[in-house]
């Protein structure tokens, strides 16, 4: 859909996710839903520019290691593992990074 193309192009332009969501009248959570669909269909998204603003590199490494070694990519399990240290959005975005880099 045109929404997906728009999202991919804007991420390629490294626009803030909040701005992409606002332009499409989406919540950030709904934008992440769309991004999950995009990545699950085999398109990689480079979210490093956004994640670098959100989480320091040690934190990103820790979450990436978790997803690499986890039995599944369940958010509930990840949230339990980290004891609520990270928001659901942060974990979902890191899972997207993992899926883009490792799973595809």
**How far is 70 from 90, CA to CA, in rounded Å?**
17
- Reading phi first (left if > 0) and then psi (alpha if -120 to 50, else beta), residue 70 is in beta
pLDDT (mean) for 52-71: 96
Residue 19: per-residue pLDDT: 97
Measure the CA–CA gap between 97 and 2, rounded to whole angstroms.
22
Residue 31 pLDDT greater than 90, yes or no:
yes
pTM score: 0.92
Neighbours of 14 (CB within 10 A): 11
Q: What is the pLDDT of residue 29?
A: 95
Instruction: Give the CA distances from residue 65 to residues 22, 30, 77, in Å, rounded to whole numbers and listed in that order.
Output: 32, 26, 14
Q: 2 vs 100, which has greater pLDDT?
A: 100
User: Residue 103: its pLDDT value, please?
Assistant: 64
Cα 103 from Cα 80, distance rounded (Å): 22
pLDDT of residue 73: 87
Q: What is the mean pLDDT of residues 84-98?
A: 96
pLDDT at 100: 93
Q: What is the pLDDT of residues 66-86, one digit of tens each?
A: 999 999 889 999 999 999 999
């Amino acid at each position: 859909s045109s929404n997906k193309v728009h999202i991919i192009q804007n991420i390629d332009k490294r626009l803030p996710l909040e701005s992409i969501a606002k332009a499409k009248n989406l919540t950030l959570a709904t934008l992440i839903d769309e991004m999950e669909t995009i990545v699950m269909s085999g398109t990689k998204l480079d979210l490093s520019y956004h994640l670098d603003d959100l989480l320091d590199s040690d934190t990103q490494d820790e979450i990436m290691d978790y997803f690499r070694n986890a039995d599944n990519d369940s958010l509930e399990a990840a949230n339990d593992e980290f004891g609520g240290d990270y928001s659901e959005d942060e974990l979902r975005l890191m899972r997207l990074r993992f899926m883009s880099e490792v799973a595809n």
